[in-house]
Amino acid sequence: MRVFLCLSALLAFVAQSYAANVVCYFNSWTVYRNGNGKFVPQNVDPNLCSHVLFAFVGLSTDGNVRILDEWEAINLNGISDIINLKQQNKDLKILVSMGGWNEGSTTYSNVIGNPTLRTNLVRNIVAFIRQYGFDGFDLSWEYPNGRGGVPSDAQNLVLFLQELKASMGNLTLSIAGSGLIQQIDLSYDVPSVANTVDMINLMSYDYRGSYDGFVGHASSLYASSKDVTITALGLNVNATIHHWLEKGAPASKLNMGIVTYGRGFTLRDAAQTDLYAPTQGPSAAGPYTQEPGMMGYNEACEFDSLWPRVFDQETRVPHIINGNQWIGMEDVNSVEEKAKLVKELGLGGAAVWSLDTDDFNGICGGGKYPLINKIKSILQ
């Protein structure tokens, strides 16, 4: 009996040790969407994710944290309502994320490259976190030594992260890491960054888009046989993960980025639908996201569920087609494969972008949050 109990305890410990992060981004601007697409903090299931990241706050030129939308964050109680989710789940961690694509890179390069401004920024971040009750901070600088940045950004980033971590105590520090191999090499001293932060949320998506002029999936798991150049062979999740590992990041700190949306194209010839088929611009905007070339899973499953679906056996991702509209999506099967690779490689977990484009209302018959729940079922 004693042996059996010891074995049971060991198995329980092993099972617990494999529980992985499910990091979910909350996009604050989604409160302005219409109809079933409107997403507010109360739509967040507090028991779904291990971490919820409030995206985004910005950076001012003097090294202060800048609330990008005072009306949403303060007047509509966006920040306090997100923080209050912890009352329903004491284990949930809420982080604030600074940056994003629209913030650019120049201000981050200037502030973090200036020792005085960098010290000011560290002090202001810690004060902001403690003022609102966040459990940590996520930096989404897109990207060091890119988009107006300079080569010294990579080392200045390390100094900033080290100084910030030293001032944060036991609060969580994470960083959003590029999914593009060339940008990884330019932006990060990977071993030093990984040694400092608690998590690296990889942007292993948006590999392809309407700007390419031809069809490609934005979040391929693997390369296609049609990918023949060195650059093209690196535009997939598997290549991103292995490059970070090869550069010195421990698997346990990497969270694979998994999206709940698709990128779409308008085909030049509706009869040509294979990868690399010529296109003439983005697909039509979805009714909720209202962004040409993008469609949330919730939009696709609610409005376009009858569109023919094709699952690519090489890249392991699906796409849907209607006339000249071609949209590479994720579905329950594709995110399951990604989550299984997370587990196989012993990664820290998954970073989901984002809560608002999953079927959070459960309209399509798979229950609420079918994609994120599938990821969670594999990882936790």
Whole-number mean pLDDT of the chain? Answer: 95
CA distance 140 to 84: 24
CA distance 354 to 258: 8
CA distance 125 to 164: 8
Q: Are 233 and 239 in contact (CB under 8 A)?
A: yes
Q: Residue written as tokens 């030293």?
A: 166
Q: Is 218 inside any structural domain? A: yes
Q: Is 4 inside any structural domain? A: no
**CATH code where residue 42 lies:** 3.20.20.80
Q: Is 280 inside any structural domain? A: no
Its domain, for residue 187, covers 19-259+330-379
Which residues is 173 bridged to in the sheet?
137
Number of helices (H), then strands (E), in the chain: 13, 15
Q: What is the pLDDT of residues 179-219, one digit of tens each?
A: 999 999 999 999 999 999 999 999 999 999 999 999 999 99
Q: Is 276 inside any structural domain? A: no
Q: Residue written as tokens 């990207």?
A: 143
Q: Is 289 inside any structural domain? A: no
380 residues of the chain, pLDDT tens digit each: 443 344 444 334 344 455 799 999 999 999 999 999 999 999 999 999 999 999 999 999 999 999 999 999 999 999 999 999 999 999 999 999 999 999 999 999 999 999 999 999 999 999 999 999 999 999 999 999 999 999 999 999 999 999 999 999 999 999 999 999 999 999 999 999 999 999 999 999 999 999 999 999 999 999 999 999 999 999 999 999 999 999 999 999 999 999 999 999 999 999 999 999 999 999 999 999 999 999 999 999 999 889 999 999 999 999 999 999 999 999 999 999 999 999 999 999 999 999 999 999 999 999 999 999 999 999 98
Helices within 29-105 (DSSP H only)? 70, 78-83
Closest CA to 170 of 198, 131, 128, 139: 198
Q: What is the pLDDT of residues 265-296, one digit of tens each?
A: 999 999 999 999 999 999 999 999 999 999 99
pLDDT confidence of residue 57: 98
Contacts (Cβ under 8 Å, ≥6 apart) of 359: 297, 298, 301, 302, 366, 368, 369, 370, 371
Q: Is 8 inside any structural domain? A: no
Active site residues: 142
pLDDT confidence of residue 380: 84
Q: Is 13 inside any structural domain? A: no
Closest CA to 252 of 350, 346, 376: 346
pLDDT confidence of residue 3: 39
Q: Is 275 inside any structural domain? A: no
Closest CA to 238 of 347, 328, 75, 324: 347
pLDDT confidence of residue 19: 79
Task: For residue 207, give the 3-state DSSP assignment.
Answer: coil
Domain count, the chain: 1
Q: Which two tokens stand for residue 304?
A: 């376009």
